[in-house]
Chain A
Amino acid sequence: MIYESIKMVFKVFKTNKLRTFLTMLGIIIGIFSITIIFAISTATQHSLTSQLSFLDDTSKIKVSITGSFDEETGTNIINIPSSEIFALEKDENIKKVDELVTYSYKEVDEMRQKEAEESSGMWWNSYQCQAITYSALDMSETSQLSLIEGRNFSQMDDINRLPFCVISTEIANKMLRKSNDVIGNTLKINNIDFEVIGVYSAKDTYYESVVYVLNSYAKYHFGQDIIPQQKYYQIEPISPDLKDTVTETVNNKLLEYLNSNEFFMEQDFSSYEDQLSSVFGIIELVFGGIAGLSILVGGIGIMNIMLVSVNERIKEIGIRMALGANSGNIKLQFLIEGIMLTILSGVIGMLIAMGVVYGVNQFISNSEFSESGFVLAINMVTTAKTIGFCGVIGIIFGIYPANKAAKLNPVDALRYE
């Protein structure tokens, strides 16, 4: 019965091709828009959160300590010894403490720099020299850095306090003007030679002008010239659920030594992520609502055309009733017509959307934006839901015309011309 009804519906569509297409257009456009909106929204959201997560490792608590400014020396004095913060590792809830120290050292004058450049490679006079404990420099985890040449620090380097450094490609490029090989070359920082063991890429980020050295080395060899400018800690709880407890512990520890304005506990980005997704939720709701409205209008169009269809086919209904169709059969026939109209429209809209998504992705991957990580994707679950929604629209707007057809009296329907 259902098979014959579907076959019949296709015959009806075939005899009224243009009318059927125009009726379906509203739903096609609606479904197309909804699909595209969700694809864009999820793609944008995804690429934004993935950018955020570069900066973010939500499992850790991040503290930066600037200390208090000392007018006499013109530098920051950090009152809390690193050992005190490392002592937190003994807390049962804390797994690991990592430290990153930024040193400032006295600026060298132009003359000395030039002299040094001529004599022995390069004099690096940036303020941005960060000393790091071995374990903190897991580059891929904490930042947007990725090692492209050489190697990272090892634990042995840290224990042996070796004068090694890891630099950015930007600094490496400057060095290359002097020599062909960056790895193994030396970089002078505060008159101390550091051997380059690794190069990372960090184009257009803060890290491109940073030189990493080992904290163990810097502490003992920079001497008086170099003063910690800022200390940055990452404290990792045993489990993510303990984050709040550990934050509390760390906060209390810091307050023993410092005023609250001398340190800054970084908010993690997960709250931004939440905000972001709620913003996108609103955007989806608004645009989805507009597209949904178009589906509603399309649905009304379908109801309208179905009523016309019922009227045109009164005679047919009469004949079918004479041949043994009951009103349930007639109702089913027209309901199937309504559902097929909407589901077919939904599928067509979806296919067009898929085509567009494929085209856009193809275009992006061939263009300069290919690295943006912006990829449109159609979620199959959403697709299934949307098609299901179309079916529901078909039932809602098909039920009235179907009932109207089913209620006809066979004699009257047969007499109808």
Chain B
Amino acid sequence: MIKLKNIQKKYVLSKQNSVIALNNVSLEIQQGEFVAIIGKSGSGKTTLLNTIACLDKQIKGEYFLDNILINKKKQKQLAKIRNKYFGFVFQNFNLLQKLTAYENIEVPLIYKKVPRRNRKKLIEEYAEKVGIKERLSHKPNELSGGQQQRIAIARALVTNPQIIIADEPTGALDEATGIQIMNILKELNKEGKTVIVVTHDIDIANQARRKITVSDGKIISDVKVGER
């Protein structure tokens, strides 16, 4: 479903100085996979993830998502694709601070043009699923990190996307909470969602069924772990 071919991303800082964040990366990810991307800081994990998530349009190479050639698309279509295919979970949650939990989960539905009367049911359904239904009227700054991340996951799920993109989802959480969040992600994978997680944590990476190691913008290893 995801097919990267010779993807290159270069940040030109000045004439002499440029950073190659992704160097000729080719990669295929099938539907329903649970992939962990690991590597040193600055190796290009986030850049790779953002490329997969259609957040970055200035890339070289070819990227097919569901056989659609992504890097030829206009920003308007990219926005639609992101809304349809991807759910995002970030290290620092990236909730909108002015909005309540409920309104945060509502945002992708607004851009999907789901009618207002249909939203409530969906929002409550997914809030229930991640176990924060009682906190829906709270603002993010009234919630713990774990609760905030659950809201972020509910927000990622509410449009029922096929792929969950998580950039260090446990990075800002304590171990126990991190495990809970990972369990939610694993559960989602069991339900058929493709999950791609960037992480520093080897333990977390070991929970995935495929482990991709990135170094200096290159994929240096790609291991499939057998069923446990």
Contacts and interface: CB of A to CB of B under 8 A. Distances in A.
A11 B94 contact: no
A325 B79 contact: yes
Residue with the highest number of chain A CB atoms closer than 10 Å, among B50, B57, B79: B79
B55 A411 contact: yes
Given A4-B110, A8-B98, A316-B96, A324 B55 contact: no
A1 interface: yes
B56 interface: yes
B80 A409 contact: no
A327 B80 CA distance: 11
Interface in B108-160: 108, 110-113, 116, 155, 159
Interface residues of B, number: 32
B200 interface: no
Contacts of A8: 98-99
Nearest to A5: B110
Contacts of B78: 326
Given A316-B96, A328-B76, A323 B56 contact: no
A316 B103 CA distance: 14
Contacts of A315: 94
Nearest to B96: A316
Contact of B76 (A12, A323, A326): A326
A137 to B, nearest CB: 73
Given A323-B82, A323-B108, A409-B56, A11 B50 contact: no
Contacts of B55: 321-322, 410-411, 414
A323 B54 CA distance: 11
Interface in B46-92: 50, 53, 55-58, 75-76, 78-80, 82-84, 86, 88, 90
B124 to A, nearest CB: 18
A327 to B, nearest CB: 6
Contacts of B108: 323-324
A407 B53 CA distance: 19
B107 interface: yes
Interface in A1-45: 1, 3-4, 8, 11-12, 15
A326 B75 contact: yes
A411 B155 contact: no
B117 to A, nearest CB: 13
A414 B90 CA distance: 10
Contact of A324 (B58, B82, B106): B82
Residue with the highest number of chain B CB atoms closer than 10 Å, among A15, A322, A328: A322
A320 B94 contact: no
A414 B94 contact: yes
B88 A322 contact: yes
Given A323-B83, A323-B88, A324-B82, A329 B111 contact: yes
Contact of B53 (A4, A322, A328): A322
Contacts of B110: 1, 4
Interface string A373-417: 000000000000000000000000000000000000111001000
Residue with the highest number of chain A CB atoms closer than 10 Å, among B56, B78, B94, B110: B110
Nearest to A327: B75
Interface string A299-337: 000000000000000011011111111111100000000
Contact of B111 (A323, A327, A410, A414): A323
A329 B83 CA distance: 13
Interface in B12-71: 50, 53, 55-58
Contact of A326 (B56, B80, B94, B98): B80
Contacts of A322: 53, 55, 82, 86, 88, 94
A324 B111 contact: yes
Contacts of B116: 3
Contacts of A320: 96, 107, 111
Residue with the highest number of chain B CB atoms closer than 10 Å, among A1, A319, A327: A319
B112 A324 contact: yes
A238 to B, nearest CB: 67
Contacts of A4: 106, 110
A67 to B, nearest CB: 87
Given A4-B110, A329-B111, A414-B55, A323 B155 contact: yes
Contact of B56 (A1, A324, A325, A411): A411
B163 to A, nearest CB: 13
A410 B221 CA distance: 29
Residue with the highest number of chain A CB atoms closer than 10 Å, among B75, B86, B88, B159: B75
8 contacts: A320-B111, A322-B86, A323-B82, A323-B88, A323-B107, A323-B155, A324-B82, A409-B56
Interface of B: 50, 53, 55-58, 75-76, 78-80, 82-84, 86, 88, 90, 94-96, 98-99, 106-108, 110-113, 116, 155, 159
